[in-house]
Structure 1
Amino acid sequence: MDLLIVAILLATAILAFVLVRGRDRYTPGGKGGQSLMPPMARSRTQKWAQSTIETEPKTRFVESAKRKQYRLLNDAEQILFHRLCEAMPNMRVFAQVGVAQLAQLRGRQEARRLKQMLGRGVDFVICGADFAIVAAIELAWPTDEGSENSPEEQKRQALQSLGIPLIVYRPNDLPDADTLSREVASAIVRRNRLEADHGQAVCS
């Protein structure tokens, strides 16, 4: 009886060992020897991704050139703007106003007459507290063209026909606040004269 029990236990142990051994051999990467299951082939996607990582150089972040800050007024124009505000605290100062826009304020007829001034503008327009136009101010370098054909003179004549006096300054010779105050006061006198002449021309 004892021998029978021992034989059964021994057979059970041998069977368990065989089963465990066989399971490891059929498991990919199993212990106790090489697996009978063939290793899974890598997909093309995985292989391509690995080769890309190995062959491609490291990504470099190239710093793009910084764009120049866009400004409505350049340095000289900014200085003149602040001096105009200082010289005439009760006036309104507007920058970069088109001549055609000023003509449009006079009506369609004036706008058609000065259509060749489309795209031309003045650096500053001075208005009173009631936004009535007093004068136009331009910063410009002298040109080699004849005085009658120069862009500055063409602009002056166009504005004068609208009853707006034009004051021109050079960027390298900016006036101080006191000079601006006197010259704008003189421009107001000219503006009233031009407005009177313009009214007479319309009536006639």
Structure 2
Amino acid sequence: MDSLTLGILIAAAIIAGFLLIVARRGKAAGPADLPSPRQEAAARLEPRPARNADPETRFIESPKRKQYRLLNDSEQELYHRLCEAVPNLRVFAQVGVAQLALARGRQEAQRLNRMAGRGVDFVICDEDFSIVAAIELAWPTSAQETDNSEEVKRVALQSLGVPLIVFRPNKLPEADTISREIADAILRRKRLEAERA
């Protein structure tokens, strides 16, 4: 036998052995068994379990992803109390200060452009959608930080003629107290409007 024939027989034996091994595993070798490029990409994106990592340092994936909500639990509680306190008024959530300034006109919006990105948790409006008051729900932090942040917002809103009421999530008032606060805000608003005129 020449060397070419011998090489072909050895190659055939190797291929036959490979096919026999694949057949024993219950899989047929073929292009259908290969993962598609999309499957390969998805496999790369799947999180892999950490090997020999300390349990304290591993990321723990929650079994169920939290649903995205516009308002957190404290804000939802305050929203419901606001609706109960002032049933004849409109309550809007997550309103930007820049939007409130724009309601006053372009000059006011340009003057308060530094407030872009800042907002208030709630805005209370009359039935004709005139703004009555802004409501902020803020956790107490260091006294200086809270005073500065709230004061900047308060001054900006006051320049627009909008009184700011601040509530603390850990001390939410009852609906009747909120109603009195908003009644006071209506009086302050009228005073601020008179000063602007």
Q: TM-score, normalised by structure 2?
A: 0.68
Q: Could you tell me which residue of structure 2 aligns to residue 67 of structure 1? A: 65
Find the aligned partners of 2:160 and 2:73 in 1 and give their Cα distance: 29
Match of 2:28 among 38, 50, 53: 50
Find the aligned partners of 2:182 and 2:92 in 1 and give their Cα distance: 14
State the identity %: 66
Any conservation in 1 of the 2:140–2:146 contact (CA below 8 Å)? no
Shift of 1:142: 2.2
Any conservation in 2 of the 1:143–1:150 contact (CA below 8 Å)? no
Aligned residues: 151
Q: Could you tell me which residue of structure 2 aligns to residue 84 of structure 1? A: 82
Any conservation in 2 of the 1:159–1:166 contact (CA below 8 Å)? yes
Q: Could you tell me which residue of structure 2 aligns to residue 174 of structure 1? A: 172
Which secondary structure state, in structure 2, belongs to the residue aligned with residue 146 of structure 1? helix
Q: Could you tell me which residue of structure 1 aligns to residue 54 of structure 2? A: none
Alignment RMSD, CA only?
Answer: 3.1
Q: Could you tell me which residue of structure 1 aligns to residue 95 of structure 2? A: 97
Q: Could you tell me which residue of structure 1 aligns to residue 113 of structure 2? A: 115
Taking a change above 3 Å as real, the CA distance of residues 81 and 69 of structure 1, as seen in their structure-2 partners, is same
Any conservation in 2 of the 1:148–1:154 contact (CA below 8 Å)? no
Q: Could you tell me which residue of structure 2 aligns to residue 36 of structure 1? A: none
Q: TM-score, normalised by structure 1?
A: 0.66
Taking a change above 3 Å as real, the CA distance of residues 148 and 94 of structure 1, as seen in their structure-2 partners, is closer
Report the AA paired with residue 69 of structure 1.
Q
Find the aligned partners of 2:81 and 2:146 in 1 and give their Cα distance: 30
Shift of 1:67: 2.5
Taking a change above 3 Å as real, the CA distance of residues 148 and 51 of structure 1, as seen in their structure-2 partners, is closer
Find the aligned partners of 2:189 and 2:124 in 1 and give their Cα distance: 11
* Unpaired runs of at least 5, structure 1: 1-41, 57-61, 200-204
Q: Which has the larger radius of gyration?
A: 1
Find the aligned partners of 2:147 and 2:78 in 1 and give their Cα distance: 27
Find the aligned partners of 1:150 and 1:142 in 2 and give their Cα distance: 12
Find the aligned partners of 1:160 and 1:93 in 2 and give their Cα distance: 19
